[in-house]
């Protein structure tokens, strides 16, 4: 098994469900090809995933002296982060919760 390079971003202000829609598209791709795909996606989560992937590529180049052309996405996932609860007045004197979700994005690259 090849050496893995890892990058992680925490407390992204987008729900993990929305981030997973983006990362499912690029899972298993070559890293530079995935960067191109993410650059043309309209979702806000694509920007955050692209930043995380760019960081992983930079880590591989700087710390492990790997060529970016040889890097492939071995593993990529989005976990749920902390949620903030706020409340809004509702009808008939009730309270309606507003849940502000966040997520953590992890990217692992391998050299092939």
Q: What is the pLDDT of residue 18?
A: 97
For the chain, domains (ranges, CATH) are 4-111 (3.90.470.10)
Rounded Cα–Cα distance for residues 73 and 33 (Å): 10
- Chain centre distance of CA 36: 15
Cα separation values, 52 from 19, 64, 73, 92, 107, Å: 12, 17, 12, 45, 7
pLDDT tens-place string over residues 67-87: 999 999 999 999 999 999 999
Contact 7, 95 (CB under 8 A): no
pLDDT in tens, 19-36: 999 999 999 999 999 999
Cα–Cα distance measured from residue 49 to residue 54, given in angstroms and rounded to the nearest whole number: 9
């Amino acid at each position: 098994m090849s050496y893995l390079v890892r990058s992680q971003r925490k407390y992204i202000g987008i729900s993990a469900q929305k981030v997973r829609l983006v990362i499912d598209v690029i899972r298993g791709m070559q890293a530079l090809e995935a960067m191109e795909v993410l650059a043309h996606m309209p979702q806000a989560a694509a920007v955050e995933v692209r930043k995380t992937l760019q960081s992983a590529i930079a880590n591989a180049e700087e710390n492990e002296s790997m060529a970016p052309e040889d890097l492939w996405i071995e593993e990529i996932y989005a976990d749920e982060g902390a949620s903030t609860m706020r409340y809004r007045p509702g009808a008939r004197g009730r309270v309606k919760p507003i849940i502000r979700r966040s997520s953590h994005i992890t990217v692992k690259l391998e050299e092939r």
